[in-house]
Amino acid sequence: MTMTHATAGPGMRRALLRVGRCVLSYVLLDMAVWIVIALVVPDWSFLDSMRVGLLILAFTGIPTVLLAIVAGLAHQHMEVARFRCLLAFPMVLFAFPLIGAAMAEPLVLQVMAQVAFAVWLMPAPLVPENWVGLPE
């Protein structure tokens, strides 16, 4: 059976929209976390916190979103809740650049953001048409 443009179009568009939602939701969540960090950590100025937040976004956000997209495309036979919980563990490891921070707040809040993204915000299944498990 060959796929025509009419059958591949809506599914591809839906998958691209879900990938865009994945990226946008992570970036907005990370921005919110670093605004909270800027308000909670008294030793840093707001601009310094935002600079560090953008740098950490490159180190945590890119691998997290890539993992979410690749795993979302690869796994098709798992219940969504189990998939999200299992994916939260490797996403937490991407917060490793903050282990050397002088204060605990950035690391704790970034880990909480990683878990929140994996468990609640990440669109799963990424391609619902290919999912064999129980969808959302």
Other C-beta atoms within 10 Å of 92: how many? Answer: 17
**Whether the bond into 125 is cis, omega within 30 of 0:** yes
Reply yes or no on whether the pLDDT at 136 is more than 60: no
Give the span between the Cα atoms of 110 and 19, in whole angstroms. 21
Domain span at 126: 15-130
Q: What percent of the chain has pLDDT over 90?
A: 53
pTM exceeds 0.85 for this model: no
| Amino acid at residue number 58 | A
Asked if the structure places residue 9 within a domain, the reply is no
- Kindly give the interhelix angle for 80-93 and 62-74, rounded to the nearest 10 degrees: 150
Asked if the structure places residue 1 within a domain, the reply is no
Give the span between the Cα atoms of 27 and 9, in whole angstroms. 27
Identify the pLDDT of residue 57. 93
Asked if the structure places residue 8 within a domain, the reply is no
CA angle 131, 27, 136 (to 5 degrees): 25
Identify the pLDDT of residue 43. 85
Query: Minimal CA–CA distance to 98: which of 30, 39, 46, 32?
Result: 30
* Segment 64-68 mean pLDDT: 94
For 73-122, write each residue's pLDDT tens digit. 887 777 888 889 999 999 999 998 888 888 888 999 999 999 999 999 98
Summary mean pLDDT of the chain: 85
Asked if the structure places residue 124 within a domain, the reply is yes
- Report how many domains make up the chain: 1
Asked if the structure places residue 65 within a domain, the reply is yes
